[in-house]
Structure 1
Amino acid sequence: MLIPLLWFIVGLTALISGAELLVRYVSKIALKLKIPKVIIALTVVAFGTSAPELAVSVQATIDGQTDLMLGNIIGSNISNTLLILGLSALFIPLKVHKNLIKWDAPIMIGITILLFFLSYNGALGFWECLLLVVLLMIYLLFLVRQKGEISIPDVNPEKDETGNMVVNVVLTITGFVLLITGARWLISSSLIFAEMAGVSELIIGLTVVAIGTSLPEIVISLVAAYRGERDIAVGNVIGSNILNMLAVLGFAGIFSSELIPIQDALLSFDFPVLIAASIACLPIFYTGHKVVRWEGGIFLMFYFAYIFYLFLSSTDHRFLDVFINIMVFFVIPVAIITILYHTITEWNWRRKYAKVFESKGEN
């Protein structure tokens, strides 16, 4: 009992320390190189937090274990969108860069829908995965072009706090290592606690493992939001979702010697949930260019509803039909009406005061 507890404390400390180092020094690198922080979040930070999934997925395809690959990616993206954005906004309202609303969120939605249609025949082959990799290259080139359209704060040479570039890079890499290692230690110790408490493997899978694999993204977004790094907090989630679909699935599929099978349940339930969650981001991001606490609460509520549905479905619980009816005929319609009302109100307000925004140079 003492050793798992020790690893839990060490893992949590490493996780938080790694996130703090990463956010602090990747921001300094962005300023030093005059790269917008939103671009850094969509690439460097997102690639770093998606690296474990990429390594595991490529190894799984080499070993011929492709059955659960797409399911893990879809589940991870659902967690990123509903759990991470929801939890982060619930603690600290998140501001959203206008470029994320204008470009990256719609790109995320488009790729999600495209992947759904590519998967509809029941499998993904080499050519579909190659298309995803090509789209990844196009997206990265697009981000390079975006760089010139985003304003970057000037650094005063007399008050330059960006520090030495080599030190910044070393500490950023250290942050990545601590983040990933801390997450692994935390998950391992939590699994031991759950098994000691007699918790079933199903519950462990739906809670400890599901949330644990998203820990790097969760902590990065929370720490970034706390430090006021709005572009990193939300950009990390959007970038991670895009890279999971294009890089992780694309490269893993190219290395696979066989087709990647798609489960029917994934197409009939999990994929539609991810598409709906992705689309919901646009109106929520648009209203005030931020995700406020009540919007984060909606995201979080739907995440736990999703997990609860998986539990009821997997155990064939008699409450399943009642739960579905409550969600379909009450909870979901109320949430849609609420979001649409606030979106239309915001749109009318912006249209009315459009000239004022233009004169002030709205961000």
Structure 2
Amino acid sequence: MIILIFLLAAAVVVGAAIYLNQFGDVISKKSSLSGAVVGTFLIAGATSLPELTTSLTAVYIDNPDIAVGNMLGSNVFNLLILAVVDLLYRKRRLFQKINTKANVPSALIGLLFLIILIVSLLIPGTISLFGVGIEMIVIVLLYVLSMKYISSDDGEQEEVPTKDYSLRTAVIGFIVAALIVFVSGSILSISGDRLAEATGMNASFVGSFLIAASTSLPELVTVLAAFKLANYNMAIGSILGSNLFNIQLLVLTDVLYRDAPILSAVGSSHIYTAILGVVMTLVIVYLLLRPSVIRNQWRYAAPSLVMALLYIVASYILF
């Protein structure tokens, strides 16, 4: 029964998050809030709301392993999405048709964030300030400082089309979808906690892989929509940007977890998820920087295949 509830909650999260993304896009285009910064924040918040509500509920039920695992696992799953799409559409040479300057900084900053988290997980007795790990404060400061170095492709790009809702309908729909995501995300976290207890599965595994995969499916839909239009910069940029945003949500999770700095309250298995994220991000950086003269499709797709295999092996080990 608990498995059925988990699967139903995951399905509702995905469906509601897709509509949340669509309504948010309409609002950013049709309201006085329109503009690159506000629009990006609105869409990023909409796409990441499942991760946020799930992790905050995990904090509320005092399961920090699911909270941290969900954020780290979502980032890893997002990179897996890129790898799988690149494999399936290897003839299109995804990473040979993008603006390197617009994407490498985001990948490198995400890599730096993961390294900071790994160091914090490895060092016992993390330093805290007002109950928040010092590493989280460093991450926020670096995020703010790095914003000016994250380039965006200023060229004309085709946008992913959305349904033509009225502004009033979009606002109401956004609020309703957000409430649905909040409730279903909470149920997903609670049922995941119960699933770990009932089956004896590691809570870190449940958070890092099962829940993380469920809450990251909206990103998959966004990437496929952008890829269908051959908007490859949007496909890659949305994933790398989502990963940076998720780490900031992890900071918020630490702020709201008042027992101790959250990284000091979780199991050591999260180190492996973070290391997996580092390795997969390094592969992404390599794909972004390597020469675009590879003609053989399987030689081109080999790094993405490596990423997919690494994810499967890590899932098996943690399980």
Same fold (TM over 0.5): yes
Shift of 1:115: 2.2
For 1:74, the equivalent position in structure 2 comes to 72
Contact 1:129 1:254 in 2 (8 A): no
Shift of 1:176: 4.1
TM-score by length of 2: 0.65
Structural mapping, 1:139-158, within 5 Å: 139-140=143-144, 143=147, 145=148, 150-151=153-154
- Report whether the alignment pairs 1:129 with 2:133: yes
Q: 1:274 is paired with a residue of what secondary structure?
A: helix
Partner Cα distance (1:150, 1:238) in 2: 14
Structural mapping, 1:1-363, within 5 Å: 12=11, 14-32=12-30, 33-35=34-36, 39-40=40-41, 43-56=44-57, 58-59=59-60, 66=64, 70-82=68-80, 84-90=81-87, 98=100, 100-127=102-129, 129-133=133-137, 135-136=139-140, 139-140=143-144, 143=147, 145=148, 150-151=153-154, 164-179=166-181, 200-202=199-201, 206=205, 210-226=209-225, 228=229, 233-249=235-251, 251-253=253-255, 255-259=257-261, 260-261=264-265, 263-267=267-271, 269-286=272-289, 296-311=304-319
Contact 1:80 1:237 in 2 (8 A): yes
Shift of 1:107: 0.6
Q: How many residues align?
A: 292
Shift of 1:108: 0.3
Shift of 1:219: 3.1
Partner Cα distance (1:225, 1:299) in 2: 19
Shift of 1:52: 1.9
Q: 1:225 is paired with a residue of what secondary structure?
A: helix
What one-letter code is carried by the residue in structure 1 that aligns with 2:51? Answer: S
Contact 1:88 1:218 in 2 (8 A): no
Deviations 1:327-361 (A, max 9, x none): xxxxxxxxxxxxxxxxxxxxxxxxxxxxxxxxxxx
Deviations 1:187-218 (A, max 9, x none): 999999x99xxx95439985798323331322
Which stretches in structure 1 are left out of the alignment for 5+ residues? 156-160, 312-363
What one-letter code is carried by the residue in structure 2 that aligns with 1:300? Answer: A
Contact 1:136 1:243 in 2 (8 A): no
Contact 2:76 2:276 in 1 (8 A): yes
Contact 1:58 1:255 in 2 (8 A): yes
Deviations 1:314-333 (A, max 9, x none): xxxxxxxxxxxxxxxxxxxx
What one-letter code is carried by the residue in structure 1 that aligns with 2:140? Answer: L
Which stretches in structure 2 are left out of the alignment for 5+ residues? 293-299
Structure 1 43/100 Cα, relative in aligned 2: closer, same or farther at 3 Å?
A: farther
Q: 1:25 is paired with a residue of what secondary structure?
A: helix
Structure 1 89/135 Cα, relative in aligned 2: closer, same or farther at 3 Å?
A: same
Q: 1:24 is paired with a residue of what secondary structure?
A: helix
Coordinate RMSD, CA, aligned:
4.8
Structure 1 23/310 Cα, relative in aligned 2: closer, same or farther at 3 Å?
A: same
Q: State the identity as a percent.
A: 14
Q: 1:301 is paired with a residue of what secondary structure?
A: helix
Partner Cα distance (1:215, 1:89) in 2: 21
Contact 1:74 1:270 in 2 (8 A): yes
Structure ID, larger Rg = 1
